[in-house]
């Protein structure tokens, strides 16, 4: 599998081991291995951008879970995102086809699915309006999913999963949503920009990968999500677990947009480091990203954990690992 150093991958590798699978993980030389340190896995060093390094990683694998992605809202050189997410996916899937892997699960994102009129939740069939493609990351994942579909058409037994917004343990980076929890818990969120997201326990996403491998139809995509909540509603859910009152001040979108433009321009032209307020993240917040996972429930037997349990598990993990210290 790829992506074991990351959030979803760390939970998936544990679930695979719990299910008595022998696991081989691909990781770049020098990458942070803390999310799978101590686990009984075989480590293969390589890079998705280097096709030759993938041969050993795929060798003798019955199933391949391609979870890794370059996930960031800003890059000094955006081409790096496409090299990893698009060309890297092509390289890995070509190798899987050559070695006749029995099943491949490709981890896409709900960001590759179109958004309908609000507040209706979207499903796997909702078309993408080009105006909704607001970031290099999102465009790269759309292009990578097209690669996956083409490979399935060429005969690769591949299933696509589209996780929504996972929360829970092993969010070491943390993800943007994990950072919201951490900042709120530390009293660093006096206000927020209202948006809407589909939240899901990261372990449900991991289980959805296994179900996709077992029951998913080749070439199909499955949304792995759970509950649609506005950011205000989500913060109200987090509040009792961090023992802090949820912020009540909403930042107008126009103010956030202006801040994003200034912050990103400063990064582009001056610091060459990630902006404090990425303009792409602000643009994404304009529309509520609500989704419907009923196809996965119906076809895969996908089950969903209550969101309050996911929040509790996330807060406990962040606390235990020192993220909530002032």
Instruction: Let me know if residue 124 belongs to a domain.
Output: yes
Q: Is residue 1 a part of any domain in this protein? A: no
pLDDT in tens, 204-218: 999 999 999 999 999
Question: Is residue 287 pLDDT above 80, yes or no?
Answer: no
pLDDT at 118 over 80: no
Closest CA to 24 of 7, 4, 10: 4
Which among 57, 65, 25, 61 is positioned nearest to 41, based on CA atoms? 25
CA-based nearest residue to 259, from 195, 170, 309, 192:
192
Q: Judge contact between 88 and 80, C-beta under 8 A.
A: no
- pTM for the structure as a whole: 0.94
pLDDT at 262: 81
Comparing 147-151, 244-248, 262-266, 290-294, the range with the smallest average pLDDT is: 262-266
Interatomic CA distance for residues 185 and 171, integer angstroms: 15
Lowest mean pLDDT among 90-94, 152-156, 245-249, 300-304: 245-249
Query: Would the pLDDT of 264 be above 80?
Result: no
CATH at residue 19: 3.40.50.720
Q: Over 90: is that where the pLDDT of 115 sits? A: no
Q: Decide if 200 contacts 289 (C-beta within 8 A).
A: no
Mean pLDDT for all residues in the chain: 93
The answer to whether the Cα torsion of 29, 2, 10, 281 is positive or negative is: positive
Please check whether residue 264 lies inside any domain of the structure: yes
Q: What is the pLDDT of residue 117?
A: 65
Residue 267 has pLDDT above 90, yes or no: no
Distance CA 275, CA 277 (A): 5
pLDDT, position 94 = 98
In a domain, 218, yes or no: yes
| Structural domain for 204, as ranges | 7-320
Domain count, the chain: 1
CA distances from 183 to 81, 186, 273, 309, 322 (A): 27, 5, 20, 19, 13
Question: Is the predicted pLDDT of residue 178 greater than 90, yes or no?
Answer: yes
**Structural domain includes residue 232:** yes
What per-residue confidence (pLDDT) applies to 45?
95
Residue 316 maps to a domain: yes
Per-residue pLDDT, averaged over 87-96, amounts to 98
Average pLDDT (283-292) is: 82
Contacts of 117 (CB under 8 A, 6+ apart): none
Query: Is residue 326 a part of any domain in this protein?
Result: no
Percent of the chain predicted with pLDDT > 90: 77
**Assigned domain for 130 exists:** yes
Taking only the tens place, the pLDDT of each residue in 126-139 is: 998 888 888 899 99
What number is the average pLDDT over the span 16-35? 96
Answer whether residue 13 shows pLDDT above 90: yes
DSSP assignment of 68-105 equals -----S--SSTHHHHIIIIIHHHHHHHHHHHTT-SEEE
């Amino acid at each position: 599998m790829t992506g074991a150093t990351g959030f979803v991958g760390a939970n998936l590798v544990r679930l695979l081991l719990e299910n008595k699978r022998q696991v081989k993980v691909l990781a770049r030389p020098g990458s942070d291995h803390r999310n799978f340190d101590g686990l009984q896995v075989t480590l293969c060093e390589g890079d998705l951008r280097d096709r030759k390094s993938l041969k050993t990683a795929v060798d003798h694998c019955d199933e391949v879970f391609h979870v890794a992605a370059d996930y960031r809202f800003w890059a000094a050189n955006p081409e790096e995102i496409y090299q990893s997410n698009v060309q890297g996916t092509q390289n890995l899937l070509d190798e899987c086809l050559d070695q006749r892997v029995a099943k491949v699960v490709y981890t896409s994102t709900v960001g590759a699915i179109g958004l309908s009129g609000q507040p209706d939740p979207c499903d796997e069939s909702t078309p993408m309006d080009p105006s909704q493609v607001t970031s290099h990351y999102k465009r790269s994942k759309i292009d990578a999913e097209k690669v996956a579909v083409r490979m399935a058409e060429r005969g690769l037994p591949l299933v696509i999963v589209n996780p929504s917004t996972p929360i829970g343990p092993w969010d070491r980076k943390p993800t943007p949503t994990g950072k919201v929890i951490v900042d709120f818990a530390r009293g660093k969120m006096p206000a927020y920009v209202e948006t809407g997201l589909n939240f899901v326990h990261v372990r449900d996403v991991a289980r959805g990968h296994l179900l996709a491998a077992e029951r998913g139809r080749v070439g199909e995509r499955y949304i792995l999500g759970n509950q649609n909540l506005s950011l205000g509603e989500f913060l109200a859910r987090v509040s009792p677990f961090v023992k802090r009152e949820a912020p009540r001040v909403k930042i107008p979108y126009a103010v956030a947009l202006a801040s994003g433009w200034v912050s990103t321009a400063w990064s582009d032209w001056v610091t060459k480091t990630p902006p404090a307020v990425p303009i792409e993240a602000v643009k994404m917040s304009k529309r509520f990203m609500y989704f419907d996972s009923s196809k996965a429930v119906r076809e895969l037997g996908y089950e969903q954990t209550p969101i309050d349990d996911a929040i509790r598990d996330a807060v406990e993990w962040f606390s235990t690992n020192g993220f909530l210290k002032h």
